[in-house]
Structure 1
């Protein structure tokens, strides 16, 4: 609101409270509320119609049925002040009353409150409420939350057990349903059926057909799915399982390689997040290569962008739906600039530059702000650091580090920034330090077990991981993690391949490392570390060999499917096509 609007509202409300110049009385349960017609007309189309079309011009007293006195007081107060107190105790009744009287401001306030209250245990109820009292934004957000947190919703929400069968089918068919393992979908439908087996057992065939059974390991299909009593009792279900097993065999033996991933039983669901890789050094020059990794389809997807400029030894950050490309080198100059790529509109924008040129820069995000640490300005290795605030489009210098570092890597953990390793112009570094934004102070922590320049650093599970790099003699396969509680480093199983200056990120309990320099050449090799098994395994290669690329994880975009491998709906392989009349 503007100052004039606020002042006007204050005056009108004072007049209402003093019952001055009021030209109408709203009566609820025999209690009279004195108001000004024009104020309520401005607040609600209902009152405008009531005062101008549903009554005579001389009518002054209006009895309002089917609403409590408290709710009407809320509505009148909002009409005069633009404010409403939404709380857990009144949210449902307030939402209903606001919908009944078409008070959009209160509906929006209730919707915003409910959006902030979304948890796995209530998202279905909020989604259902927004369906009855229709608010598109809240409905979409609640449903997206349900899809994104499906595993927890299915296992812990009482509301999930009350879902109608047809709504459950729509949910299970959705490509955006977020499950790390497809077997969780099967377990969810059995859980739903067992809640009311006499009424729901007949839905097993319909629901089982929604499970992408060919994505489940054969052992689980044979020992758990096929032997489930509901599946065993249904001829249709047994046939579905057999078809799934045949599909798995075709997939594993290389039969129908182009069709299998598109088969309804084998079509991967869309991931909730993507690994985005941008730029790098390839073939003796910087590149503008742009690709996302779809970990459900296990492949890289090239992103076409003619406006992307070649850049290497830069940093990237994902924030508020945009990719930020920080500093770097184009083969001629070191950059102080930062460019912002809107991942929804596919447009680039240059934003405020840093205070220093920084290639070999370390970049991370903490509390909605981008940190750029150290680097090389073309003359010196830097100990300076700065922080970018998107809302003001400004960089601010923070306290300098204890060490000058280029080719380091950084991450955030427990509201602190950690930076490890790097190169000071003479030596590869084993030292590490952390920054506390509350005190604007850097603290040296225990050094790593190895010197690591061109290292990859990432936080996961309350630890900071340092992977690969160059120790001054050779490229490393080794990895280690830091425990901030004990200020100690511990070894992690080594990568399959040595590398420095590579991209690193965590997706779904796996550390992904992409590209880099292996000591002989740049590489397209990608591998991941499984925290559950403690093992590294190969992943689909990048489309080009490159080092000095930068990676970040993107999520929550309205157009997530644009960054995924194409999903197409095909008929079952054993179905005949429809006849053409």
Structure 2
């Protein structure tokens, strides 16, 4: 019996039929009452038509049809015509009574408790007996419990038992969480040289700094130094030494005893030094400069999307992505053909980007568009209940929240959330204050919204929403009024940056500690800005574009809490404000969104530096020309003044 998900009586049906129905893999159903009866018959050795014997002395009376239904091994064994008579007494080698009990429980009841202690033996036995349902359950268990400490072991175990999907997932986990694996895993120390070389040389290795790779290589060698130190050469060839900090390379790599004690390392050291020297003298080189293998950036695991905004006096649907490893912005061709929008919000659920509300210069939107970053298809989803330009958006537990905004007439205090499974928006409790041009973020399963404009003044107030109670709570106000502000959760605090205080655009920022309910300042950005995008990627806060009080900008900068400093990053391809940004992790088609010509990064940098030199030269020439003009105007006046002075004397 199938249950209609649209039936209004489903809840009652599910309650009354709990004893009768149990969902099996694939959405099919079976009678639990009948299967429980068969299970009871088996335990009492009633109507059984075969016996399974184990080497440890276990004897199990079973129904051949039941085992044949879930195992191709038993189906072949019990239905083959190769035997002179039916098989009714079977000896199974290599299976324990404890494991057999669990498998029989699954065969009859589709119930199985997988634990850390039994998962490996269950998987091995299920593979041997071709019980695919148990095999899948075991793979799911191992997949859900992957950790830095066990992922390499799971990957090797899956490979040995031809669980290709689990092996691929474990490999992706190793790549994505490589920093934790390198620092915490003991399994990595037992990898053979061939596997370690492949691991540290992978383009998909998720490392912000190659120092982590170097430290892992040393850790692996130090585990068995006498037998492994000779492998330093082939491992160094797979580290992107050219991406190391120059000082780190000179102090920690170049003169390391493993390196100086192996003559075969000299060419690698010379090549790296030559590259680092060329990097400083890049503008003095003739001809195109390729990017050597030792400096090719790896592939990022997070992709930042910047969507829409206001550019050149009108809204745009321009979309670009940021490749953190190559420090380049990449134009995305698959823009939303329904048109541009600005002052909107974006939210990510899975591989879907939801573009919410906004303004196109004429209309204030309640519409929502969805872009799937894998299929690259745009589609319309359910509209919000209210039009919301200058909207604040956050995601919590795969629910999209839209708060405040401006509908063309009023600043709003209403808020609503979107359930993508139902494609439905529903109102939540209203905020205490009307807010447009505010900013929201998620921290510790709560939503924080900060600042904004209420129609009369820029605001310093902030409040927090708890979905468990459907209540808003006012928190300590910020130190500054901020409209057109951006806020983001970062290292267990809410960071609020930039904005307009009613007088000027700001470069200041502050952070909120929810444990103490207090705000404290952070260092200023290089550029004042409001209505800009903000995201955390590579464990840094990126501030993107915006309006500086005079003009729209394409400047990008990033903040690292560890150094408590801002750094300049590569500018966007176009200048824009009122844009929105979001980050997607683990895209299977990540290569579609990164810099395609990684071998040309050095040449691109050289051309950019040469262009800057030409620009500086032209500015200096113009300054000299202006000085000459000023001198030609002032000189006759000075001569005349001197002549008059001499006559007077």
Give the TM-score, by structure 1 length: 0.94
* Residue matched to 1:447: 477
Q: What is the aligned counterpart of 1:119 among 138, 147, 150?
A: 147
1:314, distance to aligned residue in structure 2 (A): 0.6
Matched, 1:304 2:330: no
Q: The residue matched to 1:330 in structure 2 has which SS?
A: coil
Is structure 2 residue 71 aligned with structure 1 residue 41? no
Unpaired runs of 5+ residues, structure 1, are 574-581
Residues 429-451 of structure 1 deviation map (CA, whole Å, 9 limit, x = unaligned): 11111111111111111111111
Q: 1:387 aligns with which of 411, 417, 421?
A: 417
TM-superposed deviation, 1:346: 0.7
Structure 1 distance, partners of 2:323, 2:215, is: 25
Match of 1:576 in 2: none
Partner of 1:558: 588
Question: Quick check: 1:226–1:238 contact (8 Å CA) kept in 2?
Answer: no
Whole-angstrom CA distance in 2 between matches of 1:339 and 1:390:
12
> Is 1:227 matched with 2:255?
yes
Corresponding residue to 1:513 among 521, 537, 543: 543
Cα separation, 1, equivalents of 2:409 and 2:384: 16
CA distance in 2, matches of 1:428, 1:63: 80
Tell me the distance in 2 between the aligned counterparts of 1:310 and 1:416. Answer: 31
Partner of 2:622: none
Aligned length: 571
* Shift in Å, 1:274: 2.0
Question: Deviations 1:186-224 (Å, cap 9, x if unpaired)?
Answer: 111111011111211221111010000000122111111
After superposition, give the CA deviation of every residue in 1:248-286 in whole Å (9 maximum; x if it has no partner).
222333257997674210011112212211110112221
2:35 to 9, 12, 15: 9
Query: CA offsets per residue over residues 526-571 of structure 1, 9 Å max, x none?
Result: 111121222222211111111110011111221222221126579x
1:129: Cα distance to partner?
A: 0.6
Specify whether residues 306 and 420 from structure 1 end up closer, same or farther in structure 2 by C-alpha distance, changes over 3 A only.
closer
What displacement does 1:396 show?
2.0
With over 3 angstroms needed to count, the CA separation of the structure-2 counterparts of 1:58 and 1:455, relative to structure 1, is same
CA–CA distance in 1 between the matches of 2:513 and 2:302? 27
Structure 1 pair 258–146 and aligned structure 2 pair: CA distance change class (3 A)? farther
Q: Distance in 2 between the 1:41 and 1:564 partners?
A: 50
Q: State yes or no: 1:419 paired with 2:446.
A: no
**Pair 1:273 & 2:299 matched:** no
Report the equivalent of 1:183: 211
Matched, 1:346 2:405: no
Match of 2:265 in 1: 237
Q: 1:378 to 1:144 in 2, by over 3 A?
A: same
Mapped partners of 1:131, 1:260: distance in 2: 42
Segments of 5+ residues of structure 2 without an aligned counterpart are 1-22, 604-649
Shift of 1:154: 1.6
**Which has a greater percent of helix?**
2
CA offsets per residue over residues 22-72 of structure 1, 9 Å max, x none? 222112234321222222122111112212236444331111111111112
Q: Cα gap change, 1:517/1:362 in structure 2, threshold over 3 Å: closer, same or farther? A: same
Tell me the CA shift for residue 87 of structure 1: 0.5
1:485 & 1:387 partners in 2: Cα distance? 26
**Secondary structure of the corresponding residue to residue 524 of structure 1:** strand
| In 2: Cα distance, 1:467 partner to 1:257 partner | 43
Alignment of structure 1 residues 394-433 onto 2, 5 Å: 394-433=424-463
Q: Aligned partners of 1:157, 1:438: CA distance in 2, in Å?
A: 37
- Computing the radius of gyration from Cα coordinates, the structure with the larger value is 2
Which residue, 222, 242, 267 being the options, matches 1:194? 222
* 1:254 pairs with 2:255: no
Does the 8 A contact of 2:344 with 2:356 survive in 1?
yes
Query: Quick one: distance in 2 between partners of 1:408 and 1:257?
Result: 51
Q: Determine if contact 1:27/1:64 at 8 Å carries over to the other structure.
A: yes
Q: Which residue of 1 aligns with 2:552?
A: 522
- Distance, in Å, in 2 between the alignment partners of 1:439 and 1:207 is 55
Among 109, 120, 131, the residue aligned to 1:103: 131
Counterpart-to-counterpart distance in 2, 1:319 and 1:292? 17
Match of 2:614 in 1: none
The equivalent of 1:51 in structure 2 is 78
Contact 1:262 1:567 in 2 (8 A): no
Structure 2 distance, partners of 1:494, 1:272, is 29
**Does the CA contact (< 8 Å) of 2:317 and 2:336 recur in 1?**
no
